């Protein structure tokens, strides 16, 4: 059931919206053009406590809910998806696995800087032939005495090559498991690889369609040696543990999509009220007014569905189905609203300095990243007891 924002939740959302409007938005076009992550803005986000929102105070966090973290992601996504996804991935893929599955020593070493936003971390799962099909993972790690030797490569890894990136957690094949029926499957484990480790190469960043400010790199591992103690969680549980983080991340991704859809709505509404053609604002034309009405409907639907998923997660209830529904619905809302907003702006909507133009470029990845729309449909069908 939908629940209105509590007072402290509304205050948080308003605070991050103000930060987004006054700090992030004015710099968004410049950094998009430079294709560079603005570390000074990331530092300010750290000072606001955004990276520590869903973590307890004993590890340096804010002790807030995951729902509240998603509110912050939505607020940032209104004006700049690259900044929003830097926070989303920094928490969901960078910090959460270490907080949830790390040893006391790993937590003590990495969490203080990560939670404070002084450092970033990435998670290396995707490969050229492995993503949704984790069983196709080729990166391998062999235990040699008290060290892992890692060889392989990863691609599309967020927050992996910034000047403040401290580590990347990678999934690797560490052996084989024999099932009860006699079949054999790969044993996948997660291993922490600090940036700067010999043999660990962060390759040149991608020339992307959108999210130009977000840091994304392919990675290469050539006889990389790290201590055996860098194993994150139980051996052989690397992918299973990641799935938990992925389900959670889909909710935050949905919040990011909702923010993008909201940002497009706000820009289109403002323009429709002020752009005068043939002596009257274009918003007085029914076809423009109806287009914006549909944009409002998409935002409302998107917000309801991610709120529902996040509330269930925070309450400790099953949320896998709701997370996939939210990820799919919100990604589509962002893409549809970006298209309509660009159409309303006309030629101005095709200029990169316009926020809606950047949303148009950025929003497509919301239907791909953290599980494509097709993967979400597969999960939803399976959760309904159908073949997906």
The count of other CB atoms within 10 Å of the CB of residue 86 is 28
Strand partners, 172: 189
Strand partners, 190: 171, 232
Active site residues: 370
What is the dihedral sign for C-alpha 264, 270, 272, 275?
negative
Report how far apart, in Å, the C-alpha atoms of 102 and of each of 98, 110, 111 are.
5, 10, 10
**Dihedral, 69, 65, 90, 382 alpha carbons, nearest 10:** -100
Tokens of 50: 């955004």
**Dihedral, 336, 337, 340, 341 alpha carbons, nearest 10:** -150
Tokens of 288: 């423009």
Tokens of 78: 């209104």
Strand partners, 171: 190
Closest residue by Cα to residue 330 from 92, 123, 84? 84
The SS3 assignment for 255 reads helix
Q: Give the separation between CA 250 and CA 73, rounded to whole angstroms.
A: 12
The single residue listed with the structure tokens 């799935």 is: 243
Report how far apart, in Å, the C-alpha atoms of 274 and of each of 187, 193, 282, 355 are.
60, 53, 8, 16
Q: Give the separation between CA 260 and CA 92, rounded to whole angstroms.
A: 19
């Amino acid at each position: 059931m939908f629940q209105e924002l509590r007072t402290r939740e509304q205050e948080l959302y308003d605070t991050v919206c103000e930060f987004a409007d006054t700090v992030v938005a004015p710099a968004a076009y410049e950094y998009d053009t430079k294709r560079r992550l603005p570390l000074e803005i990331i530092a300010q986000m750290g000072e606001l406590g955004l990276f520590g929102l869903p973590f307890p105070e004993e590890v340096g966090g804010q002790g807030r809910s995951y729902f509240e973290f998603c509110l912050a992601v939505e607020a940032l996504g209104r004006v700049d998806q690259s900044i929003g996804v830097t926070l989303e991935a920094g928490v969901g893929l960078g910090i959460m696995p270490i907080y949830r599955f790390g040893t006391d020593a790993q937590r003590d070493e990495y969490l203080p800087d990560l939670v404070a936003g002084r450092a970033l971390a990435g998670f290396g799962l995707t490969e050229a032939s492995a993503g949704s099909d984790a069983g196709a993972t080729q990166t391998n790690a062999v235990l040699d005495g008290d060290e892992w030797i890692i060889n392989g490569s990863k691609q599309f890894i967020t927050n992996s090559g910034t000047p403040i990136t401290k580590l990347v957690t990678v999934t690797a094949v560490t052996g084989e498991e024999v099932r009860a029926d006699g079949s054999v499957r790969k044993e996948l484990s997660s291993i922490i690889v600090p940036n700067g480790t010999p043999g660990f190469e962060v390759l040149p960043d991608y020339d992307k369609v959108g999210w130009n400010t977000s840091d994304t790199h392919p990675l290469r591992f050539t006889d990389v040696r790290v201590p055996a103690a860098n194993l994150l969680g139980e051996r052989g549980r690397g992918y299973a543990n990641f799935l938990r983080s992925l389900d959670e991340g889909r909710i935050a991704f949905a919040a990011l999509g909702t923010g993008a859809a909201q940002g497009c709505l706000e820009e289109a509404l403002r323009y429709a009220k002020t752009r005068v053609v043939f002596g009257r604002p274009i918003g007085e034309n029914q076809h423009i007014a109806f287009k914006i009405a549909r944009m409002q409907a998409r935002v409302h639907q998107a917000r309801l569905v991610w709120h529902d998923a996040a509330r269930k997660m925070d309450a400790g209830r099953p949320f896998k189905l709701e997370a996939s529904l939210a990820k799919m619905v919100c990604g589509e809302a962002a893409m549809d609203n970006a298209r309509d907003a660009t159409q309303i702006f006309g030629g101005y909507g095709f200029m990169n300095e316009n926020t809606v133009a950047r949303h148009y470029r950025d929003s497509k990845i919301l239907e791909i990243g953290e599980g494509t729309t097709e993967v979400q449909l597969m999960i939803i069908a399976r959760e309904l007891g159908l073949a997906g």
